[in-house]
A = this chain, B = another copy of it.
Amino acid sequence: MNPSESRARVTLADVARRAEVSLKTASRALNAEPYVTEHTRQRVLEAAAELGYERNAAATLLASGQRSDTVGLITGDLSNPFYTVLAVGIEGALRESGMRLSVASSAESPEQEWSLASAFASAQARAIIVASSLRDHTPYAALISRGIPVVFVDRPAVGIEADSVVFGDVDGGRAAAEHLLARGHRRIAFLGDYDWLPTSRGRLEGITERLRTDSEAAGGAGDGGASSLVVRMGVHGPDDAAACTAELLALDEPPTAIVAGNNRITLGVAAQSRRLDPGRRPALLGFDDFEWSDVVGISVVAGDAAHMGEVAARRALARMGDREERPTQTTLPMRLIERGSGERLAADPA
């Protein structure tokens, strides 16, 4: 039936037979274990090469009862640069320890995410790192208790105690508000992603808090500058953000500054605001950095995604050491990077 190729899988037994040694000896030779004569080792290696032998990972895993050397990463969007930079950070840290990274995407679907997590678990993944789209993470408790370390990144674990590595979103929000207030802005808009996302909430919280403080001070001093915040949540993706920006700019009293809740939103806002005369564009402050931000001149409040990845990977690695320590919550700093768009002053009220 089969024209030319020898399709039958080559097994270790085949190699052993060809090298005229026992199964175990072949196994030892191939695994570079001690107690094999150099001579026999060579014989086995040759036989394996001639036969085109390739170890069956499933069998190895099963027989040894070990877990694989792969760590799974689940993100909601393979193409979001934030997550890909995160992935690079994770990979670098894992590589140092001889581990591999397998990246999968949930396409932001909670069901997909859980299905992927289960798949990783049943494939004996060594650990799972997840930027979760779930609102509640109790299901993950089962994986953890089964001995699979789970590290939550970017979005903290909800409903269970687990390791997580996140950015200081609230502080970031405060910094953003502070920055704009200092430049005279009193009508500020915040465009945030889905409002159940911890990042969106945190960033908004920081902004709100800082503006409230300002308003109170203004009220007390009576210097006339009570600030107002327009909030649009549930803005998902660039197109949505562009539409929302257009709407805001068409208001009677449009905001003089816009804060974009993440890199996708920043793109939409920038695209839309670019249609205005340069002099009439609102100040723009984005969350999360991106490669072109420098060229485009967009100021951002951002954390180091690659570093977040490293930290998360190390946490996972540490957990593999089977230490029964308490879960840790790591918060990484965000900082404001000035590039022009966020430094535009509020126009003087004519």
Task: Tell yes or no: A105 within 8 A of B by CB.
Answer: yes
Quick check: B7 and A147 within 8 Å, CB to CB?
Answer: yes
User: In this complex, what residue of B is CB-closest to A145?
Assistant: B5
In the complex, what distance in Å separates the CA atom of A79 from the CA atom of B107?
Answer: 17
* A324 lies within 8 A of chain B by Cβ: yes
A221: B residues at CB distance < 8 A:
none
A333, CB-defined interface residue at 8 Å: no
A273 to B, closest residue via Cβ: B295
**A294 CB–B CB distance under 8 Å:** yes
List residues of chain B with CB within 8 A of the CB of A349: none
Least CB distance, A15 to chain B, in whole angstroms: 14
Encode A20-54 as 1/0 by CB contact (under 8 A) with B: 00000000000000000000000000000000101
A85 and B79 in contact (CB under 8 A), knowing A62-B59, A105-B101, A124-B58?
yes
User: Which residues of the other chain, B, contact A251 by a CB distance below 8 angstroms?
Assistant: none
Interface residues of A (CB under 8 A from B): 3, 5-7, 9, 52, 54-59, 61-62, 68, 77-79, 81, 84-85, 87-88, 91, 95, 100-105, 107, 116, 118-119, 121-124, 142, 145-147, 238, 267, 270-271, 274, 290-292, 294-296, 324
Write 8 A-B pairs (CB below 8 A) sorted by A numbering: A5-B147, A57-B119, A58-B58, A58-B61, A84-B84, A101-B104, A267-B291, A296-B296
Given contact pairs A52-B145, A79-B81, A87-B105, enumerate 15 new A-B contacts (beta carbons under 8 Å): A9-B146, A57-B123, A57-B124, A58-B59, A68-B123, A77-B88, A81-B81, A91-B107, A95-B107, A102-B103, A102-B104, A270-B295, A271-B294, A271-B295, A290-B292
